Structure 1
């Protein structure tokens, strides 16, 4: 028969077993920490490389897409577009240059010059620094530095923007306007030219009122 161990011996062996288990756990954790320390820099470099590669890829693709879009654009030198409004009155949309967007069919105008003709000697001319012509929507938006010259009345309007509806021949703007002519001058917040310049309406809004100075002929 096996003699029973001394209680003190049993405690000693139990303590040794616990110490051995604790040592094994510590060595396992230490090996895991060393592995993480080796893998972490590699993982960081891999992520940084992937991010850099993606950034370069997107930059290259954006350049390719931009060049492809530009190559599809049609550039015109000194174009001249002719048309008629719903009443058969003619108009022309000219410019120093134009670029046609193939996706929308619209033209980006450089130095636009529009002429609205009632059929007689009276011609309303509109010029600006830039603009957009939409043949399908039948409208022209030009600006800044818009100048509208009315050959019939002698009035000249200067405004930041003009919107021309080529279906009706109506020209409108809501960004302020200054008008000057033989009868004097005035300022307003918005304007509208009807019948291709035969009739002009000025409006004020908010703090911007219609103000004018009129020339009175002497007796």
Structure 2
């Protein structure tokens, strides 16, 4: 008789070999995927610092470029500006009254033609019965529009009555000699004190009108013994 194993034993061995072959194939596939992923990670690790350096370099280059361009534009604008020391303009309003616009220094904007004033001083009604003088920290003179805007720390002195107004801003129309301001005003002189939300000075200082609002009314305290 033959010593061959029963048929069912051969089937079990074949099934075991098939499972082992399937496991080996699966392990081989997983190993291939892991090696592929490892290569990608290694590549990313090499490329990421290069990408970061490239982006950082690009950002730095753009910043430097914009800084240089801004500096060039600023220098070009400054080179077109005209600077003056101890600037002084003289003129007359529509009534023939003389006025003076002066400043410690000024810069003329070539695009607008306006003058930026440093330490401006205005004198209205020159040669008249009383001269009104305005001083401030800074201002703008539009010669074409014949308008002067000065501020902050505006001080308006009336040489005739000795009254002095302080206000954040004053707008002067050199054509009419009218001075306006709507940012509040405080006044003090021999006649007393006054405060208001806005003011208008007419006839180059001959007449002053104070105005208030519902929240900030005109308030005044007069000195009966005062002169003027």
**Structure 1 length-normalised TM:** 0.86
1:92 to 83, 86, 100: 100
For the pair 1:186 / 2:194, whether they are aligned, the reply is yes
List alignment gaps of at least 5 residues for structure 1: none
Q: Which stretch of structure 1 is more off in the superposition, 87-96 or 123-132?
A: 87-96
**CA root-mean-square deviation:** 2.4
Task: Please tell me whether the aligned partners of residues 97 and 125 of structure 2 are also in contact (alpha carbons under 8 angstroms).
Answer: yes
Q: Which residue of 1 aligns with 2:4?
A: none
Aligned length in residues:
215
Q: 1:75: Cα distance to partner?
A: 0.8
TM-score scaled by length of structure 2 = 0.83
Partner of 2:210: 202
Match of 2:180 in 1: 172
**Structure-1 separation of matches of 2:64 and 2:37:** 40
Structure 2 stretches of 5 or more lacking a match? Answer: 1-10
Q: Does 1:120 align with 2:128?
A: yes
**CA shift for structure 1 position 119:** 6.1
The aligned residue for residue 216 of structure 1 is: 224
Structure 2 SS opposite 1:167: coil
1:175 counterpart SS class: coil
Query: Which digits, 9 at most, give the CA deviation of each residue in 1:167-210, with x for residues without a partner?
Result: 32210112222223343322222211012112110122244332
Deviation at 1:60, TM superposition (A): 2.5
- Would you identify which runs of 4 or more consecutive aligned residues in structure 1 move more than 4 Å? none
Q: Secondary structure at the match of 1:191?
A: strand
Question: Equivalent of 2:111, from 103, 113, 136?
Answer: 103
Distance (whole Å) between structure 1 residues aligned to residue 18 and residue 194 of structure 2: 112
Deviation at 1:42, TM superposition (A): 1.4
Partner SS for 2:111:
coil
Cα offset for 1:118? Answer: 6.9
Distance 2:21 2:186 in 1: 105
Match of 1:64 in 2: 72
